Structure 1
């Protein structure tokens, strides 16, 4: 795991973990911050420590085991984030399930890109989606893996090699201006006004608007700093990307996207030994380079995003 994630290590002591939780809980009404921070610091500390360890081990093993290690690393970090906002987490045993299901039996000519997962009403996925990212109404009941990969900015180079445009750059984290080519309107089947109305709920306040034949340019009240759909951020160059096609308009957090992909890959790794073994040994399918690329991205990006979530809630 990248050395930039020192905050996780810093919080793996009783004093720092308890002080951090106290700063989080004192902002929550009807919670005894001192008592709850003492009660929860140990679990919080180990969620982060174990999550960090899963990622570090995942970085050292062969590709065949990475999905499982990264998935459990992610779930532990998510639980740490939840405990910073939900002093009584987990409130029930129903929250301990993954909150997602995949097909039990794979078709003969199975393709990961064409596979899908189904979201459940209870479990970790809907719970963290609601309490970390304020998303209670999912825009889908089930979703295809290719559609999820299509909105990860760092994977766009692979789609570009296929001459398949999935996202476009519309701005930067360092600027309050967003610029959309008007050709998007044909893809979204929307007028200028309807397009702006469509994206407005996912943006800070729009302060200024300029429309000509080629572009729609917006000035927003504050910079976009979180990778939440339909605006996704490239972790290296800080560019903001937007879905080029209407069917990839997913107003959810990128954390949710990585969770669904990692869940399905970890299930394949654990329970579809023949398919997984063939994929890694023969490298015959298009799935292989996309899976390998995704695993490299998620290993670095998710700890980075979840660290930002922790830093945004509590202070030391």
Structure 2
């Protein structure tokens, strides 16, 4: 599974193929002059992917001390490749070149990574991805804690549970264009089934279909059925299992790709500028942050390229 994402991304490593792919995507979005734009962006699209792969190859063999920096820059290059599918003129102005995220410059005494937060800026790569690639609104100046973000990654949940940090989830099934949730999920929300259905319909914009075989069955927008674009369902790659948060404050309305980007940004900044704290953590293994960070890096190394590949292949088949 580890190389699956890159094997699929390598399918695009031909100018002829990438130009045909981009032209088709531009036509599907009714963009002006798709042939000219695809000709202009074919090589750039490949270069972004190849540059990302170079970062990921180095990250794979790098020590933990510098791995976050390499992974973050690899993620940024992959997102830039994806942006060319929705914004043929990227970058049209310098404001979209910055990372688009900030974090506290000076870490407080007794700093804990798990309790740290990042802020999405009004301009930059992050906001451009949010708006152009995912068509999401309302995230300007939004703050997210590492606790919130890490809880969106099912692979991290085993670590959180082991560390006595509660992050309840229930298994969900995505089948035949429908989402099946166990009917006892309502109990986790301290709601009746009827109230839970109303809650989900209002907050997630899902549509209730029926109750069957101990499950509440919903339909939703197409993006919710794909792990790379879903903002509500969580996906564990190794087991290919979907999960649904079992607490109402666990919804961030963020696709997991952006969750990875935000966490990796914070870690890359720590690795670059908080050297004393960073090496104290890595050498002493004194806090639970060490295992959380290690597990996140291992997961992101595999999962982020896989999601990017799925995102691009979905555009090819749509």
Q: Structure 1: any 5+ residue segments left out of the alignment?
A: none
3-state DSSP of counterpart to 2:114:
coil
Q: 1:291 aligns to what?
A: 293
- The 5 A counterparts of 1:32-181 are 32-138=33-139, 141-174=142-175, 176=178, 177-180=180-183, 181=185
Is the CA contact 1:23–1:315 (under 8 Å) kept in the aligned structure 2?
no
RMSD over aligned Cα atoms: 2.5
1:195 to 194, 199, 205: 199
3-state DSSP of counterpart to 1:19:
helix
Deviation at 1:236, TM superposition (A): 1.4
* 73 and 284 in structure 1: CA distance in 2 versus 1, 3 angstrom threshold: same
Residues 1:218 and 2:222 are matched in the alignment:
no
Is the CA contact 2:121–2:141 (under 8 Å) kept in the aligned structure 1?
no
* Alpha-carbon distance in 2 for matches of 1:90, 1:275: 35
3-state DSSP of counterpart to 2:35:
helix
Q: 2:27 aligns to what?
A: 26
* Alpha-carbon distance in 1 for matches of 2:191, 2:303: 29
* Alpha-carbon distance in 1 for matches of 2:301, 2:139: 25
Deviation at 1:302, TM superposition (A): 0.6
2:234 to 218, 232, 235: 232
Deviation at 1:200, TM superposition (A): 4.2
3-state DSSP of counterpart to 2:225:
coil
* 120 and 187 in structure 1: CA distance in 2 versus 1, 3 angstrom threshold: farther
* Alpha-carbon distance in 1 for matches of 2:173, 2:215: 16
Is the CA contact 2:51–2:74 (under 8 Å) kept in the aligned structure 1?
yes
* Alpha-carbon distance in 1 for matches of 2:16, 2:111: 50
Deviation at 1:169, TM superposition (A): 2.3
Deviation at 1:219, TM superposition (A): 4.3
Residues 1:282 and 2:284 are matched in the alignment:
yes
Is the CA contact 1:178–1:218 (under 8 Å) kept in the aligned structure 2?
yes
Deviation at 1:26, TM superposition (A): 2.1
Is the CA contact 2:45–2:84 (under 8 Å) kept in the aligned structure 1?
yes
1:241 to 228, 240, 243: 243
Deviation at 1:310, TM superposition (A): 0.6
Q: Structure 2: any 5+ residue segments left out of the alignment?
A: none
Q: 1:2 aligns to what?
A: 2
Q: 1:265 aligns to what?
A: 267
Deviation at 1:174, TM superposition (A): 4.5
* Alpha-carbon distance in 2 for matches of 1:224, 1:199: 17
* Alpha-carbon distance in 1 for matches of 2:204, 2:281: 42
3-state DSSP of counterpart to 1:191:
helix
* Alpha-carbon distance in 2 for matches of 1:29, 1:139: 28
Is the CA contact 2:189–2:247 (under 8 Å) kept in the aligned structure 1?
no
Is the CA contact 2:118–2:145 (under 8 Å) kept in the aligned structure 1?
yes
Deviation at 1:162, TM superposition (A): 3.2
* Alpha-carbon distance in 1 for matches of 2:168, 2:65: 29
Q: Deviations over 1:227-267 (max 9, x none)?
A: 52321111112222122222222111111111110000000
Q: Deviations over 1:180-211 (max 9, x none)?
A: 422222289x933432333541x4x4322369
* Alpha-carbon distance in 2 for matches of 1:62, 1:8: 25
* Alpha-carbon distance in 1 for matches of 2:34, 2:171: 42
